[in-house]
Amino acid sequence: MAYGFNGKFLRVDLSSSKISVEERRESFYRKYFGGRCVIAYYLLRELKPGIDPLSPENILIFAPGVITGAPIAGSGRSSVGAKSPLTGAYGEAEAGGFFGAELKRAGFDGIIIKGKAKHPVYLWVHDGEAEIRDARHLWGLDTGESQEIIRKELGDKLIRTAQIGKAGENMVRFACVIHDLRDAAGRVGMGAVMGSKNLKAIAVRGHRSVEVADPEKLRELSKWLLDNLDKTGTLHQFGTGAMMTSHVLSGNLPTRNFRDGEFPNPEGISAQRIAETVRIGMEGCFACPIRCKKVVKFEEPWSVDPIYGGPEYETLAALGSNCGIDDLKAICKAHELCQRYSLDTISTGATIAFAMECYENGLITKEDTGGIDLTFGNAEAMLKMIELIAMREGIGDVLAEGVKRAAEKIGKGAEKYAVHVKGEEVPMHDPRLKRGLSLGYAVFPTGADHNNNLHDTDVRSFPALGIFEEVPLEDLGPRKVRLFVYFTNWRVISNSLLMCNFLPWVTNPRQLTEIVRAVTGWDTSAFELYKLGERSMNLTRAFNVREGFTPKDDRLPPRFFKPQTSGPLSKTAVDPEKLEKAKELYYRMMGWNPDTGAPTMEKLAELDILWVADEVKTNVREDLD
Amino acid sequence: MAYGFNGKFLRVDLSSSKISVEERRESFYRKYFGGRCVIAYYLLRELKPGIDPLSPENILIFAPGVITGAPIAGSGRSSVGAKSPLTGAYGEAEAGGFFGAELKRAGFDGIIIKGKAKHPVYLWVHDGEAEIRDARHLWGLDTGESQEIIRKELGDKLIRTAQIGKAGENMVRFACVIHDLRDAAGRVGMGAVMGSKNLKAIAVRGHRSVEVADPEKLRELSKWLLDNLDKTGTLHQFGTGAMMTSHVLSGNLPTRNFRDGEFPNPEGISAQRIAETVRIGMEGCFACPIRCKKVVKFEEPWSVDPIYGGPEYETLAALGSNCGIDDLKAICKAHELCQRYSLDTISTGATIAFAMECYENGLITKEDTGGIDLTFGNAEAMLKMIELIAMREGIGDVLAEGVKRAAEKIGKGAEKYAVHVKGEEVPMHDPRLKRGLSLGYAVFPTGADHNNNLHDTDVRSFPALGIFEEVPLEDLGPRKVRLFVYFTNWRVISNSLLMCNFLPWVTNPRQLTEIVRAVTGWDTSAFELYKLGERSMNLTRAFNVREGFTPKDDRLPPRFFKPQTSGPLSKTAVDPEKLEKAKELYYRMMGWNPDTGAPTMEKLAELDILWVADEVKTNVREDLD
């Protein structure tokens, strides 16, 4: 009896319309677990290096993990991966909701999609079977319309979907994959890869329940969670975005393209204000009692449809303060448009903020914008830009390439306003405040990532892993690097287990270990899970090395080496020399060659993935193999 | 409230007769835990490099650990450490019994002894106090007599002792420390260091109970142990030495100085035979229900006093088969003599076996032995040699130096019969059978060590740490090195926690983690404990590097590169090239410089012991500190 996995991956070749099922043994799941690790495994094994991410040669992978779909809070997430069209590096994004659990219930542990369909199609996966269906009638539709038609034509209202809207179809490089209209696998352009394959949607329905090894233990853990939920009361009450004022006071709220440190009305774009005004309810993910997801609805001055949920903190900051906007309804509308069109709200907001700063500095003119006054704070302009980007119209076609490529096209020194790492727009936390982020943004495989990063305003120690003495916020020396390594290697477990980072498991290795044990029946330990995190980091690092990435690519945008123009961080910036030293120490602690950034043979051997050595020739010693 | 430690170390300067108490905070205990880690800490901090181990400059440390004395099976052990007079390297040995628990109950977490007393003394430690007492009347006495007098003059029959007999007094380089007459901290000459300090004994008595954070959980874990004790039934029934026949059949039973592979009567020296003949009972250690320790008694042809317990497997093999002897009573008498005189039975047997082979090959003559016919199998000769060694009389004075130095003194190529690593005689398991041992013997800090080694006849995987696929016995490639690294880093935890390796915790990280948590109240994990193991390995490695040890010292004696003369291993030997490759990979996986064998700065930083970098200058980069 297998617990936690079906033993089956669905393989789809859109070019030949062939569908097959690949069987996998338990040892595969215990080594790679799911999500990021499984995606990196297949990309390293099967993707040709150097291909264009928007060509049919790219491989798109949907993968939940071994605990996904088990009856325990936080197990609803799922991953989407491919070579990223935004960064050219390893690409992967996760979404909450129900899709991953439904895929497991449908009998599969993942979907591996190759090639490109001759015309728009969607994939219908249900109870161990799959078929490729015509989607020409769906192409061009918003995700909401498209989902409704799919559910109707398949005759099941409980079908779960992963879809793209116009932005994905138009291969906007930061198009996302929208799950059930609300949950975005947001970052690094996985929606553009769907679009490049003429794949409008994946519809999933399953009736097999996910068997677990020790249901009694899972119930006990659920009870532990409920007993400890007071700590996450804010999340339950408001969702993300309830700390806007403190973010402004610390300097963490990105304002006007990370330029400024003062934002006059943070409460106006807060989760509390949403609760007081436009919110009509809260929703949750599979098996989760926290229900942290806002649902907003209003009719004036724009109509916002509640089927698209509501904005998270990242969205409120990216399309709000980072664009100098404090018009809450405009931000909510912007969020809804992004869900309709399948746009990553972070990259969308960051790209518009970049364009606004270019505009204010004369690098983009009214002629370029088609008459739009693209100044910071102009909510209407922001909304209009979203439309242009999704449709790739006018200046939107340039911005749809992301800030890195847009800056190259605009020229005239626009690069200095392009706040990105490896091409990925920086999310809504300032590394001038959080030293851990400065290192994390620089080195993470997908680019500037906030989910798997060390927010050292909140995390100063990690007693359960043996770091019991607090490391000061401003430290970027060996102790901070150690904390960073331990914390992030632990945190990235969530990319392979697909456990939600909002649940307290992330800092409670004991409980997370117990969950994995209860679901799979494996006699696992915090040590084994930590090694899973390391394996994930090494596989994705190896992917990037194979694509030609070097330590030079692990760098911050110049903006963070200078203080904010005003506010609490007007005298503080990241010290580039300290960051370089921390980076080198990070490589060494990770078991990577500090000159190439590549995993060493001994680290690959220690993680039992020595096959990866063939993929990163550098530093591989044949005589030791 | 502190659980698991007293916060106090007793410091004794025998030269000045000064006694003081050092206070330590919780962070010290959580980082170093106890035993080996604490000993290595103090030796690195306070011992001058390059000193003569038998000079007053050596530091002798007695250290239990944070769980020692807690009411849970296996927590009775304690460590003794110093620079080894046998190897010149880091020296440490552990003993079971009650001494460690009593020391904790007396209010101390360890004793740090410096200098040399002007005349023989003993140390009396009781309930937070200590005094140095005259021991001139004890000098020269057997441990049994000495203990009786100490208990009588202090008026307490429940006093626990750590003592030396004549061998320790005479600074036999492999003299051990005898605890309560039965439990030997056997290896690498800690008894000789006691002798060099004129320290006859330490007597301990305490009435404070060791407070634990979660007594209920400890009871639950004790119940788990009892429920799982069937697996260790042989240990309970017979103690060690119950597998003699299978050892012969596999080639693992060292025979005639590791030369031969056939031993005609293994059952005759087995624990079963002991049970049928001379055994009068079984005894146990503090809080342990297993009671694996034999007690033997007989009057003919020699009188054997049961106060000295009975022989373990290592003793039965070292003084039995390895000397070609199958006279069970002679072995039991030899064991009793070693306890009386404080001789390590492994080194004693190995040294006599070495002398026997020298004798049979004409390198030692009857003139040298004073007329003794020192042939393999001569039990009377073996018993006589023990006396000579302990008294340092005649040829015994040469052999008291251990096989390495004895071979140098004897010359004439005697070195090829000296089966040792770094000067430590090899224990009773053959690396020609167990590939893991070949690596372990070579690289361990104290020399040839069997306790913390990978006996890969028994251990092929370690699922709880993520090694779920079996590694073949004959493999010495990357997968075996990985298993070796994980298993031994885990196993050496027992040197710092002082948890008995015979308990099933060693392969059940979950339970061991729970024990530490229940005793200390720390929210620990298998990961933190594994890092403790790594910290222990790095501290001891650093000590040896500072003393000038290099990878060249991490080598096996030549005997193991050739097959046994007969029996199952007559065609198998350790491949020196494969061993060298495994050694290099081991260094790399451990985070050590493969050229120097020294811990890298990044590994020290990762383990939060960057201060050690000052002690091992090699490979330390100042700019990263």
pLDDT tens-digit series, residues B152-166 = 999 999 999 999 999
Predicted confidence (pLDDT) at residue A23 exceeds the cutoff of 90:
yes
Question: Do A608 and B482 count as a contact with CB atoms less than 8 A apart?
Answer: yes
Considering its fold, how many domains does chain A have in total?
Answer: 3
A526 CA to chain B: closest CA distance, Å? 6
Mutation target to probe the B interface, by most B beta carbons within 10 A, among A462, A527, A621 is: A527
Give the residue-averaged pLDDT of B138-144. 98
Helix axes of A215-227 and A509-520: crossing angle, nearest 10 degrees: 150
Predicted confidence (pLDDT) at residue B512 exceeds the cutoff of 70:
yes
Contacts of B469 in chain A (CB under 8 A): 27
Question: Do A465 and B608 count as a contact with CB atoms less than 8 A apart?
Answer: no
Predicted confidence (pLDDT) at residue B494 exceeds the cutoff of 90:
no
Mutation target to probe the A interface, by most A beta carbons within 10 A, among B524, B602, B610, B620 is: B602
**Same domain flag for A287 and A323:** yes
What does the pLDDT look like over A549-568, one tens digit per residue? Answer: 999 999 999 999 999 999 99
What does the pLDDT look like over B334-385, one tens digit per residue? Answer: 999 999 999 999 999 999 999 999 999 999 999 999 999 999 999 999 999 9
Does residue B402 sit within a domain? Answer: yes
Question: How many angstroms separate the first and last alpha carbons of chain A?
Answer: 35
pLDDT for position B620 = 35
List residues of chain A with CB under 8 Å from any CB of chain B. 27, 30, 463-469, 478-479, 481-482, 485, 509-510, 513, 522-528, 530-532, 581, 584-585, 588-589, 591, 600-603, 605-606, 608, 610, 623-625
**Same domain flag for B133 and B197:** yes
Does residue B518 sit within a domain? Answer: no
Q: Is B412 exposed, middle or buried (0-12, 13-18, 19+ CB in 10 A)?
A: exposed
Residues 6+ apart with CB under 8 A from A611: none
Last residue of a domain, one of A389, A418, A447: A418
Q: Which of B27, B469, B527 sits opposite A530 (nearest CB)?
A: B527
Give the residue-averaged pLDDT of A482-495. 95
Query: B89 with B543: CB under 8 angstroms?
Result: yes
Q: Which of B464, B469, B523 sits opposite A27 (nearest CB)?
A: B469
Selection from B61, B210, B89 nearest residue B520 by Cα: B210
Question: Do A608 and B510 count as a contact with CB atoms less than 8 A apart?
Answer: no
Mutation target to probe the B interface, by most B beta carbons within 10 A, among A528, A607, A620 is: A528
Q: Is A223 exposed, middle or buried (0-12, 13-18, 19+ CB in 10 A)?
A: exposed
Helix axes of B435-443 and B576-590: crossing angle, nearest 10 degrees: 60
Does residue A520 sit within a domain? Answer: no
- Could you tell me which chain B residue has the CA closest to the CA of A606? B482
Question: Do B525 and A513 count as a contact with CB atoms less than 8 A apart?
Answer: yes
Does residue B460 sit within a domain? Answer: yes
Contacts of A27 in chain B (CB under 8 A): 468-469
pLDDT for position A507 = 80
- Could you tell me which chain A residue has the CA closest to the CA of B31? A466
Task: Count CB pairs under 8 A between chains A and B.
Answer: 124
Does residue A496 sit within a domain? Answer: no
Structure tokens at A47: 């993707």
B589 CA to chain A: closest CA distance, Å? 5
Does residue A223 sit within a domain? Answer: no
Q: Which of B27, B526, B530 sits opposite A468 (nearest CB)?
A: B27
Question: Do B624 and A581 count as a contact with CB atoms less than 8 A apart?
Answer: yes
pTM summary value: 0.96
Q: What percent of chain A stands above pLDDT 90? A: 94
Q: What percent of chain B stands above pLDDT 70? A: 98
Question: Do B478 and A513 count as a contact with CB atoms less than 8 A apart?
Answer: no
Question: Do B526 and A522 count as a contact with CB atoms less than 8 A apart?
Answer: no
Residue B543 structural domain? 438-491+525-624
Q: Which of B585, B602, B623 sits opposite A624 (nearest CB)?
A: B585
**Same domain flag for A127 and A237:** no
**Same domain flag for B255 and B140:** no
* ipTM at complex level: 0.95
What does the pLDDT look like over A239-250, one tens digit per residue? Answer: 999 999 999 999
Question: Do B30 and A588 count as a contact with CB atoms less than 8 A apart?
Answer: no
For the beta sheet containing A60-63, the strands, ordered from the edge strand earlier in sequence to the opposite edge, are A18-23, A8-13, A111-114, A60-63, A78-83, A90-95
Mutation target to probe the B interface, by most B beta carbons within 10 A, among A602, A608, A614, A622 is: A602
Question: Do B465 and A527 count as a contact with CB atoms less than 8 A apart?
Answer: yes
Contacts of B532 in chain A (CB under 8 A): 466
- Could you tell me which chain B residue has the CA closest to the CA of A490? B527
Structure tokens at B287: 């809080």
**Angle formed at CA B332 by CA B425 and CA B189, multiple of 5 degrees:** 30
Predicted confidence (pLDDT) at residue A619 exceeds the cutoff of 50:
no
- Cis amide linkage into residue B568, ω under 30° from 0: no
| pLDDT bucket at B618, cuts 50 / 70 / 90 | very low
Q: Which of A478, A528, A585 sits opposite B465 (nearest CB)?
A: A528
**Same domain flag for A323 and A459:** no
- Could you tell me which chain A residue has the CA closest to the CA of B602? A589
- Could you tell me which chain B residue has the CA closest to the CA of A481? B606
A28 CA to chain B: closest CA distance, Å? 11
What does the pLDDT look like over A398-454, one tens digit per residue? Answer: 999 999 999 999 999 999 999 999 999 999 999 999 999 999 999 999 999 999 999
Helix axes of B215-227 and B509-520: crossing angle, nearest 10 degrees: 150
Last residue of a domain, one of A355, A389, A418: A418
Give chain A's mean pLDDT.
95
**Same domain flag for B600 and B470:** yes
Selection from B542, B428, B466, B383 nearest residue B40 by Cα: B542
Contacts of B479 in chain A (CB under 8 A): 605, 608
CA quadruple B40, B42, B43, B47: dihedral, nearest 10: 170
**Same domain flag for B63 and B199:** yes
pLDDT for position B279 = 98
Contacts of B584 in chain A (CB under 8 A): 624
Question: Do B466 and A625 count as a contact with CB atoms less than 8 A apart?
Answer: no
**Largest interatomic CA distance in chain B:** 70
Q: Which of B464, B523, B624 sits opposite A585 (nearest CB)?
A: B624
Q: Which of B463, B525, B584 sits opposite A464 (nearest CB)?
A: B525
Does residue A502 sit within a domain? Answer: no
A553 CA to chain B: closest CA distance, Å? 21
Write the single-letter amino acid at A537.
M
Question: Do B623 and A467 count as a contact with CB atoms less than 8 A apart?
Answer: no
Q: Where residue B556 sits, what CATH number does that domain have?
A: 1.10.599.10
Mutation target to probe the B interface, by most B beta carbons within 10 A, among A217, A486, A525 is: A525
Q: What percent of chain A stands above pLDDT 70? A: 98
Write phi, then psi, for A233 (nearest 5 degrees): -55, -40
**Same domain flag for A150 and A264:** no
Better pLDDT: A404 or B615: A404
Residues 6+ apart with CB under 8 A from A473: A433, A434, A435, A456, A457, A460
**Same domain flag for A310 and A268:** yes
pLDDT for position B501 = 87
pLDDT for position A624 = 35
pLDDT for position A423 = 98
Does residue B296 sit within a domain? Answer: yes
- Could you tell me which chain A residue has the CA closest to the CA of B485? A606
Predicted confidence (pLDDT) at residue B144 exceeds the cutoff of 90:
yes
Give chain B's mean pLDDT.
95
Give the residue-averaged pLDDT of A344-350. 98
pLDDT for position A622 = 40
Q: What percent of chain B stands above pLDDT 90? A: 94
| pLDDT bucket at B231, cuts 50 / 70 / 90 | low
Question: Do B605 and A478 count as a contact with CB atoms less than 8 A apart?
Answer: yes
Selection from B427, B290, B243, B278 nearest residue B347 by Cα: B427
Q: Where residue B94 sits, what CATH number does that domain have?
A: 3.60.9.10
Question: Do B466 and A585 count as a contact with CB atoms less than 8 A apart?
Answer: no
Contacts of B468 in chain A (CB under 8 A): 27, 30, 522
Contacts of B624 in chain A (CB under 8 A): 478, 581, 584-585
Residue that the structure tokens 């509390």 belong to: A272
What does the pLDDT look like over B79-106, one tens digit per residue? Answer: 999 999 999 999 999 999 999 999 999 9
pLDDT for position B1 = 66
Q: Which of B465, B524, B610 sits opposite A478 (nearest CB)?
A: B610
- Could you tell me which chain B residue has the CA closest to the CA of A26? B468
> What three-state secondary structure class fits B441?
helix
A255 CA to chain B: closest CA distance, Å? 34
| pLDDT bucket at B253, cuts 50 / 70 / 90 | very high
Q: What's the Cα-to-Cα distance from B613 to each of A483, B364, B491, rounded to whole Å?
A: 19, 46, 25
* Lowest-confidence region among A121-135, A569-583, B494-508: B494-508
Q: Where residue A305 sits, what CATH number does that domain have?
A: 1.10.569.10
pLDDT for position B47 = 96
**Same domain flag for B404 and B453:** no
- Could you tell me which chain B residue has the CA closest to the CA of A600? B588
**Same domain flag for B375 and B484:** no
Predicted confidence (pLDDT) at residue B558 exceeds the cutoff of 50:
yes
pLDDT for position B90 = 98
**Same domain flag for B177 and B246:** no
What does the pLDDT look like over B213-224, one tens digit per residue? Answer: 999 999 999 998
Q: Which of A527, A584, A600 sits opposite B527 (nearest CB)?
A: A527
Query: B115 with B56: CB under 8 angstroms?
Result: yes
Contacts of A603 in chain B (CB under 8 A): 589
